[in-house]
Amino acid sequence: MSKRGLFITVEGGEGVGKSTNMAFLESLLRDSGIDLLVTREPGGTRLGEDLRELLLQVREEPVSPSAELLLIFAARAQHIEECIEPALAAGRWVLCDRFTDATYAYQSGGRGIDAATVRKLENLVQGSLRPDCTLLLDAPVSVGMSRARGRGELDRFEREEVDFFERVRATYLQLAEEGSGRYRVIDASQPLEVVQGQLLKVCRELLRCREKGVQ
Ligand code: Z5A
**Pocket test residue of 10, 19, 107, 142 for ligand 1, highest count of atoms within 8 A of CB:** 19
Tens of pLDDT, residue by residue over 35-80, are: 999 999 999 999 999 999 999 999 999 999 999 999 999 999 999 9
pTM: 0.97
Report the atom number in ligand 1 closest to the C-alpha of 160: 19
Give me the pLDDT at residue 211, please: 80
Give me the pLDDT at residue 50, please: 98
Give me the pLDDT at residue 1, please: 60
Average pLDDT per consecutive 10 residues, the chain (215 residues; last block may be shorter): 90 96 98 97 98 97 98 98 98 98 98 98 98 98 88 89 97 95 97 98 93 69
Give me the pLDDT at residue 215, please: 54
- Expressed in angstroms and rounded, the spacing between residue 4 Cα and the centre of ligand 1 is 29
3-state secondary structure the chain: CCCCCCEEEEEECCCCCHHHHHHHHHHHHHHCCCCEEEEECCCCCHHHHHHHHHHHCCCCCCCCHHHHHHHHHHHHHHHHHHHHHHHHHCCCEEEEECCHHHHHHHHHHHCCCCHHHHHHHHHHHHCCCCCCEEEEEECCHHHHHHHHHHHCCCCCCCCCCHHHHHHHHHHHHHHHHHCCCCEEEEECCCCHHHHHHHHHHHHHHHHHHHHHCCC
